[in-house]
């Protein structure tokens, strides 16, 4: 599979190989409050509800985030690797956002 942008191949490989390009979503329930989690490198879109947190983490920071979580008493952890759509949006999201600001293309 290849991701083409502006007529050039910008990334190439299988889905598993391309997953490093975006973030993994995690939903975690901990025994202790998730203090300090938002300060870790690579953590984005953190939301907390009591002992449950949800966030995205850059793929190359997953290991250090899991190590931090282990000190909080993990009760449950669900991890979602990036989807094909998320990989696509990583490369084209800015163009799509710009297009929506301009409005639909004329017919």
pLDDT in tens, 87-106: 667 666 555 445 554 455 55
Write down the mean pLDDT value for the chain. 78
In angstroms, rounded to a whole number, what is the distance separating the alpha carbons of residues 98 and 59?
26
Please state the rounded mean pLDDT for residues 59-80. 93
| pTM for this entry | 0.64
User: With bands split at pLDDT 50, 70 and 90, how would you rate the model's confidence at 28?
Assistant: very high
Predicted pLDDT at 83: 73
pLDDT top residue among 19 and 90: 90
Residue 72, C-beta contacts closer than 8 angstroms, at least 6 positions apart: 30, 31, 32, 33, 34
Does domain 22-101 sit in CATH 3.30.70.120? yes
In angstroms, rounded to a whole number, what is the distance separating the alpha carbons of residues 41 and 96?
27
């Amino acid at each position: 599979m290849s991701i083409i942008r502006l007529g050039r191949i910008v990334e190439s490989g299988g889905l598993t190989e391309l997953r490093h390009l975006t973030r993994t979503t995690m939903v975690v329930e901990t025994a202790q409050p998730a203090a300090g989690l938002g300060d870790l490198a690579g953590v984005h879109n953190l939301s907390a509800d009591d002992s449950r947190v949800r966030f995205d983490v850059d793929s190359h920071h997953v290991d250090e985030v899991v190590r931090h979580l282990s000190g909080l008493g993990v009760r449950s952890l669900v991890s979602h690797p990036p989807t094909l759509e998320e990989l696509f949006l990583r490369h084209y999201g800015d163009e799509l956002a710009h297009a929506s600001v301009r409005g639909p293309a004329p017919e």
